[in-house]
A and B are shown apart, each in its own frame.
Chain A
Amino acid sequence: MMAAVTMVIAVQRNLFAVVVLFGAYSFLMATVLVALDAVDVAMTEASVGAGISTVLLLSALHLSKGVETKPLHKPFLPLLVALATGAALVYGTLGLPAFSDPEAPIHQHVAPRYIHDGLRETGVPNIVTAVLASYRGYDTLGEVTVVFTAGIGVIALLRRTRRRKQGGQA
């Protein structure tokens, strides 16, 4: 179903429909994440993708035309490049261990320590929060800095310049 939504998004020209379909895609992704037992990520995906993203895209859509302009030429070469890269990536994933294999190397290094000692060392039952905020607090600091930079970028780009309104002094 997600593949169907993605194809329609790529082909569809009416931008309002595309925004609604993006919200639907985010919702489907959130349910997939719940099926994979990653509830924290699912909640973030649902709130950011299906909630805030849709609102911000709609308010951006309000500022531009409602229909995507026709491309100048048929995109055969980009399609070929995308298919070749996708095929190479799929070929690469064939070398990975089986999905959710408990003997896989990624589950042997720090994950057992987090699972066994997380509650005792941090006092927080939710292992995801313990890893995010305590064991890997630096990474969360980096993420918040990225969000902050995005906000600063938007402010820098879109702040109304008063000079133009006062008679064109550069």
Chain B
Amino acid sequence: MAKLMIPAMLLFALYVQFHGDFGPGGGFQAGVISAAAIIFYAIIFGLPAARAVVPDWLVETMVASGILLFAGTGVAGLLLGGNYLDYFVLAADPVHGQHRGIFWVELGVLITVAGVMLKIFYMFADRGLDTEDDA
């Protein structure tokens, strides 16, 4: 039953992300929803199974690379001749440049938010396993 819901949740997260231009949504909501889907998987099937699907190194990479993507979009604006985070210079047509800039920026937000939520959950769930080893 849960196996039916989890792909639907992930798909909904992607829908919210890419539909943020036309309806409510955007990076933050989509990031939280996709993290919730993975946490749901971890609750139902156990933490080691979730760790096998989304390992620790992947989560930590997500946390950092999202914000790098966001800042990198700003630097790309600099390199192409405009100001920092200037979207007008990213494509031949300024409005198209806006579309591209917003796309990459929201993607960066999604990756970082999903990574941080998942990482916090992993850390909390980890702690419960070895509290009896602490001095």
**Contact indicator B116/A123 (Cβ below 8 Å):** no
Which residue of chain A has its CB nearest to the CB of B131?
A63
Question: How many cross-chain pairs have Cβ atoms below 8 Å apart between A and B?
Answer: 145
Q: How many residues belonging to A are interface residues under a CB distance threshold of 8 Å? A: 47
**Contact indicator A133/B26 (Cβ below 8 Å):** yes
**Contact indicator B99/A43 (Cβ below 8 Å):** no
Chain B CB within 8 A of A80 CB: no
**Contact indicator B67/A59 (Cβ below 8 Å):** no
Q: How many residues belonging to B are interface residues under a CB distance threshold of 8 Å? A: 56
**Contact indicator A56/B121 (Cβ below 8 Å):** yes
Residue from A39, A140, A148, A158 in contact with B116 in the complex, judged by beta carbons closer than 8 Å: A148
Which residue of chain A has its CB nearest to the CB of B133?
A165
Q: How many angstroms between the C-alpha atoms of A128 and B74 in the bound complex?
A: 20
**A contact patch SS:** helix
Chain B residues in 8 Å Cβ range of A48:
28, 32
Q: Known contacts being A59-B124, A126-B22, is A141 close to B131, with CB within 8 Å?
A: no
Q: Known contacts being A59-B121, A132-B26, A141-B74, is A148 close to B21, with CB within 8 Å?
A: no
Q: How many angstroms between the C-alpha atoms of A52 and B115 in the bound complex?
A: 13
User: A166: shortest Cβ distance to chain B, in Å?
Assistant: 12
Chain A residues in 8 Å Cβ range of B131:
63
**Contact indicator B28/A44 (Cβ below 8 Å):** yes
Q: Known contacts being A43-B24, A125-B22, is A134 close to B98, with CB within 8 Å?
A: yes
19 A-B pairs within 8 Å (CB atoms) are namely A42-B24, A43-B16, A47-B29, A47-B32, A51-B32, A59-B121, A62-B124, A63-B127, A63-B131, A126-B21, A129-B102, A134-B98, A151-B115, A151-B119, A151-B120, A154-B116, A154-B120, A154-B123, A158-B126
Chain A residues near B (Cβ < 8 Å): 39-40, 42-44, 47-48, 51-52, 55-56, 59-60, 62-63, 120-126, 128-130, 132-134, 137-138, 140-141, 143-145, 147-148, 150-152, 154-155, 158-160, 164-165
